[in-house]
Amino acid sequence: MAASSPTERVPRTALVTGAASGMGLAVAERFLAEGWAVLGVDRDADALGKATGDLGSAFRPVPVDITDRGALSTALGGATGLRAVVNAAGIYPPTSLADFDEATYRRIFDVNVLGTLNTIAETVPALRAAGGGAVVNFASIDALAVSRGQLLYSASKAAVVTLTRSLGVELAPDNITVNAVAPGWVDTPGTRAGGRIEQAVATIPLGRAARPEEIADWVWTLCHGSYMTGETLVVSGGLTVR
């Protein structure tokens, strides 16, 4: 992505979904530390309000459900200076063939796939108006090396990998890169709540889970490349190469 001129009147802005916690919050913090403004999108208004108090005035909270495109469009109306879009929002309730149901299927795919598409569709006009920019989607190692008990989550993240490829081609003429990051185990409150991280760490060659800020570093890098698009970067501590 081309660097912005220091004389620009409109500050560079990144939109981050899932910005109230976990990796989304870490990404928002990274962009803020680099002097960007951040539109922090999350459906949890209370958590978003707390993040706003912690992060300061350059962080603009946008409490909205990304599965509702109309509401998202209204909430984002008039956004300017947008140069990066990071789709970090996602849910991962455990499922298997024996216990999945239609409601869970729709909830996972609505957030992880439809929500990502809605966000990109509603922000591409602003990226075009800025002369281009970057989109980074959150896939997962489970899209490539599935985990037992994550049937629908794995399928949804595989869909994110494929839509990243398709949109990389579709948006290339607009000078918009579209890439994905596929984290392995990351030490977030949500991951710890699942109760499997301690056992999983023993299987990681680097011997630990990633810190959220380490994933944010790679997101930052993907938002500043000019000749990489449609790709998925695996950040797993060596888990996929054993």
Q: Which two tokens stand for residue 53?
A: 């108090």
CA 76 to chain centre: 17
> Would you say 185 and 200 are in contact if contact means Cβ atoms under 8 Å apart?
yes
Contact partners, residue 38, CB within 8 Å, separation at least 6: 13, 14, 15, 16, 19, 28, 31, 32, 55, 58, 59, 60
Q: Which residues pair with 136 in a beta bridge?
A: 86, 179
Sheet of 82-87, strand order: 59-63, 37-42, 13-17, 82-87, 133-138, 176-183, 232-235
For residues 69 and 198, give the distance between their C-alpha atoms in angstroms, rounded to a whole number.
38
> Would you say 49 and 56 are in contact if contact means Cβ atoms under 8 Å apart?
no
The dihedral region occupied by 236, where left means phi > 0, alpha psi between -120 and 50, and beta the remainder, is alpha
> Would you say 180 and 165 are in contact if contact means Cβ atoms under 8 Å apart?
no
Q: Is 163 helix (H, G, I), strand (E, B) or coil?
A: helix
The set of catalytic residues is: 153
